[in-house]
């Protein structure tokens, strides 16, 4: 079977890495396309995953720019796939892929775990053969996106628990960043400022940076999403901030951190799965998955930088993971029609 996977953001690399391995172990031919956004290309290179860059980079924050970039990317993906005779197309929140796959008559699975990116998921859900989501998302929210129950396949728990199966943190990442192991290690992920659902900004995040970046007992590794964010962070010259110049092994970093503060979603859930205390500063509407984690006390909502607990985390509980085969089976269900 010829399988096409499209990756448009850095979390998609760790999501699909074990699934690509499983597909190839089963004898399938897997082809990857990618968008030049965040650290996606660097992470693909670090993972040794051959790929083709298709279409322009991210369109930016405005709707008009997003629409123009999407049109160009749709043309590029269709041109790439037209003669390759793929049997199945897979993506996680790459809504362009199911649109192109449908135009070419290729079954597709469209996965996501944040249901309030309405414009994006409305396109992906309607075009896809199968919609794959965590079981925490209520069906009525999927109905609104054009994903009736007959089209949906669900998996238990967090997607992060599947790709962390068998994960062993690499301590080398601490040495690569020249971190002082005697200081408290915080990992900070910047807001998704270019996302439509996050247009209103996040002043709390700035307060968090000021607090952590001025604390001599802390080293805060800040992982920016874009070059512009990196430039702003470096210009701040806060003494306790460490801003890597390229993509790093963020999973190993989070596993060894004392705390995580993230304005996004995936890194929050990675920290939950790895047993690292984590605060969210996300100022949009919490999706069902993160809302459940908050209710369970596994994810903390930060309302003020003053209440941030900066301390050693102690011994983390063993990571509870799930076999990635179960997630792959959900995605492959698109072949059932």
Average pLDDT over all residues of the chain: 92
Q: Which CATH number does 172-307 carry?
A: 3.40.50.2000
Spans of the chain, pLDDT less than 70: 58-62, 193-202, 316-318
Count of alpha carbons within 13 angstroms of residue 128, beta-carbon side? 36
Please tell me the total number of residues recorded for the chain in this structure. 337
Domain 2-165+323-336 has CATH 3.40.50.2000: yes
Closest CA to 224 of 252, 185, 273, 263: 263
Determine the pLDDT at residue 203.
81
Q: How far is the C-alpha of 268 from the C-alpha of 158, rounded, in Å?
A: 11
Q: What is residue 247's three-state secondary structure?
A: coil
Residues 6 or more apart whose Cβ sits within 8 Å of residue 223: 187, 188, 189, 190, 244, 248, 250, 267
Tell me which residue of 263, 265, 267, 264 sits closest to 251, measured CA to CA: 267
Largest Cα separation within the chain, whole Å, is: 58
Q: What is the pLDDT of residue 264?
A: 76
In angstroms, the CA 159 to CA 112 distance is: 9
Q: What is the CA radius of gyration of the chain?
A: 20
Q: Do 2-165+323-336 and 172-307 share a fold?
A: yes
241 alpha-carbon distance from chain centroid: 23
Of 94, 96, 88, the C-alpha closest to 72 is 96
Where are the chain's structural domains?
Answer: 2-165+323-336, 172-307
Reading the block at residue 127, the tokens are 């075009």
Looking at residue 198, its pLDDT comes to 44
Instruction: Tokens 């085969």: give the residue.
Output: 325
pLDDT tens for 103-152 read: 999 999 999 999 999 999 999 999 999 999 999 999 999 999 999 999 99
């Amino acid at each position: 079977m010829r399988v096409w996977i499209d990756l448009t953001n850095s979390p998609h690399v760790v999501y699909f890495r074990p699934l690509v391995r499983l597909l190839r172990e089963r004898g399938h031919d897997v082809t990857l396309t990618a968008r030049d956004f965040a650290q996606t290309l660097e992470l693909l290179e670090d993972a040794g995953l051959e790929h083709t860059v298709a279409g322009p980079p991210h369109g930016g924050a405005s709707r008009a720019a997003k629409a123009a970039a999407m049109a160009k990317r749709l043309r590029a993906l269709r041109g790439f796939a037209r003669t390759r005779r793929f049997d199945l197309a897979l993506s996680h929140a790459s809504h362009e892929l199911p649109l192109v796959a449908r135009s070419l008559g290729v079954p597709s699975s469209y996965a996501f775990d944040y249901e309030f990116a309405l414009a994006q998921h409305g396109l992906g859900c309607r075009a896809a053969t199968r919609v794959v989501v965590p079981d925490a998302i209520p069906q009525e929210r999927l109905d609104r996106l054009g994903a009736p129950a007959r089209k949906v396949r669900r998996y238990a728990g967090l997607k992060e628990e599947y790709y962390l199966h068998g994960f062993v943190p690499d301590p080398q990442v601490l040495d690569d960043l020249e971190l002082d192991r005697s200081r408290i290690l915080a990992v900070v992920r910047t807001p998704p400022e270019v996302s439509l659902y996050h247009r209103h900004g996040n002043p709390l995040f700035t307060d968090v940076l000021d607090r952590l970046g001025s604390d001599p007992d802390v080293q805060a590794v800040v992982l920016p999403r874009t070059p512009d964010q990196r430039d702003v962070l470096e210009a701040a010259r806060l003494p306790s901030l460490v801003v890597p110049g390229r993509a790093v092994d963020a999973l190993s970093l989070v596993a060894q951190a004392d705390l995580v503060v993230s304005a996004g979603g995936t890194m929050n859930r990675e920290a939950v799965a790895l047993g690292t205390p984590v605060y969210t500063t996300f100022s949009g509407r919490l999706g069902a998955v993160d809302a459940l984690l908050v209710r369970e006390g596994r994810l903390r909502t930060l309302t003020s930088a003053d209440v941030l607990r900066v301390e050693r985390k102690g011994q983390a509980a063993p990571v509870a993971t799930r076999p990635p085969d179960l997630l792959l089976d959900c995605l492959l269900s698109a072949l059932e029609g």
